[in-house]
Amino acid sequence: MNNFLLKAEEENDFIPLFSFNEQDVENEPALELPDLLPILPLKNTVLFPGVVLPITVGRDKSIQAVKAAYNSDKLIGVVAQKNGNIEDPSPADLCQVGTVAKIVKMIKMQDGGTTIIIQGKKRFELVSVKEEEPFFKAEIKILIEDIVSPSDQNFQAHLSTIKDLATQIIQLSPNFPSEAALILKNIESPLFLINFVSSNLNVELPEKQGLLEEHNITLRAEKLIQFLQQELQFVELKN
């Protein structure tokens, strides 16, 4: 996690936005989903619930999926590709767990591309891709999060450790924006904290996808701590 401004791409690089209006993702209301949800495959990145990202969309299928979603309920299913080098993925090239996102804003660029700002809402599992043209439409199943009791001292210790490790990494890394540590300190929602740090973690896609797919929040926190400890050791050695 040597850079919270993590580079990732659908077609071009984008920079994650810090969400100043933290959303309590544990209490996110139920989504009214269409029977078939438009699907947006992403290269080399994983979207987590609660996290806000701007994404530049360039592929024709992706642009059509985004426009269709934006002109209806603004909901779209975001999934990572197993291989980011594939330009025209098939359903078999998509990870089975993704995140339903709301398109907050859509901007048409001068070069003909489209940039969207999306916020993750709920994790989902791909049940079946029903349509592939002009873009993917799929039947999905929303995945319910484990909610850990606030009195669980072991889990609270995990959250404290995540904040401490991430703060140390920020302080030791020159490329972090100055507000990153302050934003991290002020996050109160346990699930958003885990998702926010996971989203900005500097690990390979399979590891990050593994965090998204972990249903048990305590286990997700434990895996995240392991990655943070490894990254902190790397930053300390580099310094």
Q: How confident is the model at residue 114 (pLDDT cuts 50, 70, 90)?
A: confident
Q: How confident is the model at residue 220 (pLDDT cuts 50, 70, 90)?
A: very high
- Say whether pLDDT at 6 is over 70: no
- Say whether pLDDT at 95 is over 90: yes
Q: Are strands 52-57 and 114-131 parallel, antiparallel or unpaired?
A: antiparallel
Q: Is 95 within 8 Å of 26 (Cβ atoms)? A: no
CA-nearest of 116, 44, 109 to 74 is 116
pTM of the model: 0.86
Q: How confident is the model at residue 179 (pLDDT cuts 50, 70, 90)?
A: confident
Q: Which residue type is seen at 44? A: N
Helix (H) or strand (E) holding 186: helix 180-186
Tokens of 198: 């996971």
Enumerate the β-bridge partners of residue 138: 37, 129
Angle at 120 between CA 116 and CA 122, to 5 degrees: 145
For residues 176-184, give the mean pLDDT.
79
Q: Is 208 within 8 Å of 46 (Cβ atoms)? A: yes
pLDDT given for residue 31 in this prediction: 82
Contacts of 60 (CB under 8 A, 6+ apart): none
Report which DSSP code applies to 119.
Answer: E
What is the end-to-end Cα distance of the chain in Å, rounded? 14
Report which DSSP code applies to 44.
Answer: S
Q: Which residues of 163-176 are buried (b: 16+ CB within 10 A; e: fewer)?
A: bebbebbbebbeeb
Angle at 68 between CA 65 and CA 74, to 5 degrees: 100
- Say whether pLDDT at 29 is over 90: no
